[in-house]
Structure 1
Amino acid sequence: MHALIASPFLEQHVLVRPGSRSGALLPEERYEALRALDAAAPAPAWLTDAVREHWEDLDVTGRPAGDFLLVRQPSTWGYSKASWEVNLGCNYACKHCYLGLKVNSGMPWKDKRRCLDLMAEAGVLWLQVTGGEPTIDKDFLRAYRHAFELGMMLTVSTNGSLLWRENILRLFEECPPYRVTVSLYGATKASYDELTQRPGAWDLFVQGMNAARRARLPLRMSVIVTEDNAHQEAAMIELCRRWGVDHEVYTNMTPTIYGGGEVLTAQSKDHLSMRKQFTGCNAGHTFFHMDPHGLVSICKIGRDEQISLPQEGIGGFARLGAIADRLMLRTGGCSGCKLSGSCTVCRPLAKHFQEAKAPLAAYCQHGREDRVNA
């Protein structure tokens, strides 16, 4: 199994290591030298030096390059990142979940495998594997392993309830993830079980986190603050610190992917934060999202127009950039807005809130008392 990946990344080339946050830029000529290197040939001196500089515990001196190095081929499509909902099913029923209906359905394994192959062909180096809860999917283990073998740096977004399972821990040991992002829904059993609406969820979460910490997985916590657990925000942050795990706090709720506003009742009004000014993004141009049925959209929010990867194949990506440009236009309820130049949400997200009949304060400066006067 490879320990290093040399790959194109946007307009550059990088050397990265699964399970590690470190990486190095590769001059184009050295990337091309690695492409031409025979698998049985030993690592060149400059590569040995670079590995020693960035990863002291990894020694490749004199080793055949094929034993530790995977060289990703260039792609004409230019995508570098993607996210994939393996399924929408979950073993929790969180009140705030933007996925709405927890339908555990998706593609058969042969289509999942083909879609991963097409992602690699499109150039995807960083892949976020999410759900629903991805670890409950019957194909999670082999899908993760196949993506790893294709040379992807993998992030798994999970509730952590199954991280104690030996087959998952063994998989992560053999195929190290770039990151495991675990959502935190409370600092006590009562609050955690209440928000997830699953008795015993806290116990599984703690069991999973204890196992993940013992295995030294590259963890990051997503601290989810809602109306139910807002009083425990400080306690949740303290728990992350006590465990020695990096964290990020999320307070803003969004409608469901079906346009429903019912989950917005979980929003803590005191914790509704003003987003940063939206200055554009490369959704649909350098990254994309794929749902459980292989339908590709520009991102998790902008799902209005989707491309069926199983049906259209790699050629479907040719339409994605134009779809992104159309979805980003300021149309509909935002036409002529005097604050559009300093808007804090993209057009797809604003449309999402509007269709859910969400209060303006949830996404628009016009709904905030402290907004700039129009």
Structure 2
Amino acid sequence: MPAPTHQLIASPFLGEYLVVRPGHESGVKIKAHHYIELRQAASAGIPLPEWLLGAAARRWGLHLGDRPSSEVLLIRDPSPYGHGRASYEVNNGCNWACTHCVYGDKRHEGLAWEARERLLRILRDAGVLWIELGGGECTIDKHFPETYALAYDLGMMVEILTNGSTLFRPRMLDLLTARRPYRITMSIYGATEATFDGFTQRRGAYKKFMRGLGAAREAGLPLSLSVVITRENAHEAPAMRALAHRFASRVREYSHMSPSFSGTAEPLAQQAPEYLHNRTPFTGCDAGHTSLNVSPFGLASVCKVSRDHPIPLLKEGVAGLSRLGEIADRALQRHSGCSGCTLQKTCTTCMPLVTLYRKAGSPRDRYCQWA
């Protein structure tokens, strides 16, 4: 796959306009008339305007000279739909067997390439600029290289969620250095080989993780690390934090396990009670209105948690997403015992997640203040 030539993307995004650079998190907000100017420059093949050359040099240290705009700039067309972000579960399958995992059964299921290509173009047409590719473990999917490359080539800013077990492979490194993601997010499950391998139930998992982590850092890829703390590894929490900060500047910590997406309770049993803490109140989100989740079978839902009334994108196309906002609003409405709760304004759990906890038979104190 020859690498694309675009080094910048000019795109509408949620009622505004951005110029972003693949492989980098930061962007430059521009006015509507500047976006029109860039469209005209790219169409005519003339050099980039001076104001953008200056902005690119200041923001990214990128010096583009007088090259034609069409060689270095990809223009994203406006979309009548307002979905700027999406997560796409490439495949449910995984090469590890972590018991805390919310994906439950890890079957290697996903779309054939032709359908997947259509799906990515639908997401592009929906206005999606930032896309997260995950799973399961997305990098072991047989169509991952083509999926990743097409998302990038269509002008999407790509993040991948991976366990890191394949990042040291030359073909994977070639793919990710030729088409840089803006973020690679990996999870730390232990600071020693015994704990890590026990957590994943796979001998050699720690060695592969560390090898992939080291290879990604050596290649200069942007890393984000999640420290996942459960009953099985809580004794190594300080060492896991130290490991994370040694390799990445962006570190997140997770100790509240959720039920699986099908509502089974296995992940809840892995919670370390001493690491459960008060969370911030849930005050609403834009899921379903400006963002969406897509299952391995092309079903669009409000988010990874709220999966009721999915929209078959391959059947309905981008127009089907017009219903997603209404589905999201209904999903967030408090019902059953929550409808008259006087603590709603300080509740830390959204209604779709409450529903999963109830379905899993979780103790109420894991999700409800009344308990």
TM range (shorter): over 0.9
- Quote the residue 2:110 is aligned against: 106
- Quote the residue 2:59 is aligned against: 54
> What is the alpha-carbon distance in structure 1 between the residues aligned to residue 92 and residue 280 of structure 2?
29
- Quote the residue 2:82 is aligned against: 78
- Quote the residue 2:100 is aligned against: 96
1:354 aligns with 2:333: no
Secondary structure of the structure 2 residue equivalent to 1:171 = helix
Give deviations 1:56-111, integer Å, cap 9, x for gaps. Answer: 1x211210111111011101001100001001100000010000000110111111
- Quote the residue 1:364 is aligned against: 368
> What is the alpha-carbon distance in structure 1 between the residues aligned to residue 17 and residue 82 of structure 2?
12
Within a 5 Å distance, the mapping from 1:227-242 to structure 2 comes to 227-242=231-246
Deviation at residue 21 of structure 1 after TM alignment: 2.3
Alignment RMSD (CA, Å): 1.0
1:300 aligns with 2:307: no
> What is the alpha-carbon distance in structure 2 between the residues aligned to residue 158 and residue 188 of structure 1?
19
Of residues 44, 57, 71 in structure 1, which corresponds to 2:49? Answer: 44
Deviation at residue 22 of structure 1 after TM alignment: 2.3
- Quote the residue 1:263 is aligned against: 267
> What is the alpha-carbon distance in structure 1 between the residues aligned to residue 250 and residue 49 of structure 2?
36
Does the 8 Å contact 1:77/1:123 carry over to 2?
Answer: yes
> What is the alpha-carbon distance in structure 2 between the residues aligned to residue 240 and residue 336 of structure 1?
43
Within a 5 Å distance, the mapping from 1:83-162 to structure 2 comes to 83-162=87-166
Does the 8 Å contact 1:39/1:67 carry over to 2?
Answer: no
1:345 aligns with 2:355: no
Secondary structure of the structure 2 residue equivalent to 1:365 = coil
Secondary structure of the structure 1 residue equivalent to 2:19 = strand
1:273 aligns with 2:244: no
Secondary structure of the structure 2 residue equivalent to 1:86 = strand
1:187 aligns with 2:191: yes
Deviation at residue 245 of structure 1 after TM alignment: 4.1
> What is the alpha-carbon distance in structure 1 between the residues aligned to residue 70 and residue 12 of structure 2?
18
Deviates more, 1:348-357 or 1:284-293: 348-357
Does the 8 Å contact 2:225/2:248 carry over to 1?
Answer: no
Deviation at residue 362 of structure 1 after TM alignment: 1.2
> What is the alpha-carbon distance in structure 2 between the residues aligned to residue 137 and residue 131 of structure 1?
9
> What is the alpha-carbon distance in structure 2 between the residues aligned to residue 23 and residue 258 of structure 1?
37
- Quote the residue 2:31 is aligned against: 27
Question: What are structure 1's unaligned runs of at least 5 residues?
Answer: 368-374
Give deviations 1:340-365, integer Å, cap 9, x for gaps. Answer: 22111111111111111101121111
> What is the alpha-carbon distance in structure 1 between the residues aligned to residue 51 and residue 26 of structure 2?
17
> What is the alpha-carbon distance in structure 2 between the residues aligned to residue 266 and residue 3 of structure 1?
44
Deviation at residue 244 of structure 1 after TM alignment: 4.3
1:222 aligns with 2:226: yes
Give deviations 1:38-71, integer Å, cap 9, x for gaps. Answer: 3521111111111111121x21121011111101
> What is the alpha-carbon distance in structure 2 between the residues aligned to residue 322 and residue 137 of structure 1?
33
Deviates more, 1:305-314 or 1:330-339: 330-339
Question: TM-score, normalised on structure 1?
Answer: 0.96
Secondary structure of the structure 1 residue equivalent to 2:316 = helix
Does the 8 Å contact 1:118/1:314 carry over to 2?
Answer: yes
Question: What are structure 2's unaligned runs of at least 5 residues?
Answer: none
Of residues 17, 22, 28 in structure 2, which corresponds to 1:13? Answer: 17
> What is the alpha-carbon distance in structure 1 between the residues aligned to residue 67 and residue 227 of structure 2?
43
- One-letter code aligned to 2:109: S
- Quote the residue 1:331 is aligned against: 335
> What is the alpha-carbon distance in structure 2 between the residues aligned to residue 22 and residue 314 of structure 1?
28
Does the 8 Å contact 1:253/1:267 carry over to 2?
Answer: yes
Give deviations 1:2-55, integer Å, cap 9, x for gaps. Answer: 110111111210111011122111111000111122352111111111111112
> What is the alpha-carbon distance in structure 2 between the residues aligned to residue 244 and residue 282 of structure 1?
28
Instruction: Report how many residues are paired.
Output: 366
- Report sequence identity in percent: 46
- One-letter code aligned to 2:49: P
Runs (4+) off by over 4 Å:
none
- One-letter code aligned to 1:240: A
Question: TM-score, normalised on structure 2?
Answer: 0.97
> What is the alpha-carbon distance in structure 1 between the residues aligned to residue 270 and residue 191 of structure 2?
17
- One-letter code aligned to 2:247: W
> What is the alpha-carbon distance in structure 2 between the residues aligned to residue 63 and residue 39 of structure 1?
12
> What is the alpha-carbon distance in structure 2 between the residues aligned to residue 245 and residue 22 of structure 1?
15
